[in-house]
Structure 1
Amino acid sequence: MAERSYYAPQGGLPKQTELMTDRAVFTEAYAVIPRGTMRDIVTSALPFWDGTRAWILARPLSGFAETFSQYIMEVASGCGSDRPEPDAGAEAVIFVVEGQLSLTLRGEEHVLEPGGYAYLPPGSDWTAHNNRDSAVRFHWIRKAYEAVDGIAAPDPIFANENAIPPTPMPDTDGAWATTRFVDPADMRHDMHVTIVTFQPGGLIPFAETHVMEHGLYVLEGKAVYRLNRDWVEVQAGDFMWLRAFCPQACYAGGPGPFRYLLYKDVNRHARLGLPGDFGGQRR
């Protein structure tokens, strides 16, 4: 299996002599946060995390994407958190892109290296620390779990993508494939975080338009991505945020594979409410 690459932001600031022009865009249907905007001055500090900063890429916004938040966490050597998650109803996916993360769940330690994945059910008692000499960087995707009467909450999952063969999409001869950490038929899960890989020349051959909203972080390579009416050139380190029903397509021109970490909400009925409701609450 070919060696895989994972882009991780390093921060810093551009020189005063550089142009401010970049590819950042926020529209009514999608947003693109290019890697060049992930600088020191746009990081956030979080309660009970020491030696840590976060690039917050997505958060619920009324009228836009509403189901999830996504951070890139950077934790210095010897630092971390014994109280990482403030919301008992939140589930999480952790995906490591650089360094090594020691994640302890229910008293058992799990060491995650690049490509390492963890699913943490709501109400999990977990901690996260960096016991190595260099920084660790990882994605932290959070969602309020939607429980269903008669269906149990999911179990924790610990895996590494390097041990999971990608599943080719039908009739693509392997040019488009998905690495899945969760069985798509498992109704306990209300979100999927996967890795999508396009080989050079691979494409999404139609404008996908569907109820799922997406967060896409480019791990490796470059491509042109169709977002609503626009074709946007993206590369490793860029993030795309698509609201529900935003048309999307992709063409990976090469020279190497184009890979991204993909979030989507799944397996639940559309929430209903009265006119003027927001999130099921009457204003």
Structure 2
Amino acid sequence: MANTKYYAPTGGHPAQTELLTDRAMFTEAYAIIPKGVMRDIVTSHLPFWDNMRMWVLSRPLSGFAETFSQYIVELAEGGGSDRPEQDPNAEGVVFVVDGEFTLTLEGTTHAMRPGSYAYIPPAATWTLRNSNAAPARFHWVRKYYQAVDGLARPEAFVTNEQDIEPIPMPGTDGKWVTTRFVDMSDMRHDMHVNIVTFEPGAVIPFAETHVMEHGLYVLEGKAVYRLNQDWVEVEAGDYMWLRAFCPQACYSGGPGKFRYLLYKDVNRHMDLGKYNHRG
């Protein structure tokens, strides 16, 4: 696949002359966080990190989406961490959208650039550092790993989107493809973070309604998305956050490709919670 330019936020602050009206919304079934929301004033920071800030796109919320969190992390020159993850039960995925930095994962050092993808298992040893003058920006998806007796935990790995052949959706003549970083048949993994690509005019031709929770960050292009009962316009830099069973479909608007980074939870029994306790 040819090199792709991913959208990444740069912050800033709106002028007093700009209109307040925007596309941000939060409903019982989904949230839209448009790119215009990702300003300096809403950034967060973490312990044991240097020269970094991040936009928190999603986090577990009771009664909404409960399985994952997703950040966009920005590293200035010298930015990074020798203790990036404090929770030994958390697995993660890093996907680079802008700039370059070095990731050392389980003793192996990797040069990370746009399109680079790293899977980080629970309790892994890793560090990262930006030694360049230009900032680097990446998505960081985190989830509690759901171990299964008899299944080994997945190992760490690093790859790049450019090295993976997208898989076409049957019956679409290649106009709807998915770049899969993890084999769907590998039951060790309890989450997938993929890239979905639609050619102009391609559609999801039915309202998907399923148990998986979603985070969809638009990397490129624009589309009209059906979320629950609403049609919403989205473009590069926007984020869609969906709870389980939120109906969803889309039309790719063109003139170029519509692409998004997609999180979903997979391959595990449904947690029965309090209903599992019977007297």
Q: Distance in 2 between matches of 1:5 and 1:175?
A: 19
- Confirm or deny that 1:60 pairs with 2:60: yes
Q: Distance in 1 between matches of 2:32 and 2:182?
A: 27
Aligned to 2:182: 182
Aligned to 2:46: 46
Structure 1 residues without counterparts, runs of 5 or longer: none
Aligned-pair CA distance for 1:163: 1.2
- Confirm or deny that 1:252 pairs with 2:233: no
Aligned to 2:192: 192
Aligned to 1:36: 36
- Confirm or deny that 1:234 pairs with 2:234: yes
Aligned-pair CA distance for 1:242: 0.4
Aligned-pair CA distance for 1:106: 2.2
Q: Distance in 2 between matches of 1:102 and 1:163?
A: 19
Q: Distance in 1 between matches of 2:148 and 2:273?
A: 18
Specify the code of the residue in structure 2 equivalent to 1:110.
Answer: H
Q: Distance in 2 between matches of 1:187 and 1:2?
A: 31
Question: What does the per-residue CA deviation read over 1:223-260, in whole Å, with 9 as the maximum and x for residues that have no partner?
Answer: 00000000000000000000000000010020000000
| Equivalenced residues, count | 277
Structure 2 residues without counterparts, runs of 5 or longer: none
SS at match of 1:274: helix
Specify the code of the residue in structure 2 equivalent to 1:99.
Answer: G
Aligned to 2:146: 146
Q: Contact 2:2–2:162 (CA<8 Å) still a contact in 1?
A: no
Q: Contact 2:50–2:78 (CA<8 Å) still a contact in 1?
A: no
Q: Distance in 2 between matches of 1:57 and 1:163?
A: 27
- TM-score, normalised by the number of residues in structure 2: 0.98
Aligned to 1:265: 265
Aligned-pair CA distance for 1:85: 0.2
Q: Distance in 1 between matches of 2:130 and 2:29?
A: 37
Specify the code of the residue in structure 2 equivalent to 1:104.
Answer: T
Specify the code of the residue in structure 1 equivalent to 2:117.
Answer: Y
Q: Distance in 1 between matches of 2:68 and 2:274?
A: 23
Aligned-pair CA distance for 1:132: 1.3
Aligned-pair CA distance for 1:273: 2.2
Superposed counterparts of 1:116-135, under 5 Å: 116-135=116-135
Superposed counterparts of 1:15-30, under 5 Å: 15-30=15-30
Q: Distance in 2 between matches of 1:52 and 1:80?
A: 7
- TM-score, normalised by the number of residues in structure 1: 0.96
Aligned-pair CA distance for 1:22: 0.3
Q: Distance in 2 between matches of 1:185 and 1:75?
A: 35
Aligned to 1:160: 160
Aligned-pair CA distance for 1:274: 2.2
Q: Distance in 1 between matches of 2:236 and 2:120?
A: 26
Large movers: runs of 4+ above 4 Å: none
Q: Distance in 2 between matches of 1:157 and 1:126?
A: 12
Q: Distance in 2 between matches of 1:108 and 1:163?
A: 19
SS at match of 2:273: coil
Q: Distance in 2 between matches of 1:83 and 1:89?
A: 15
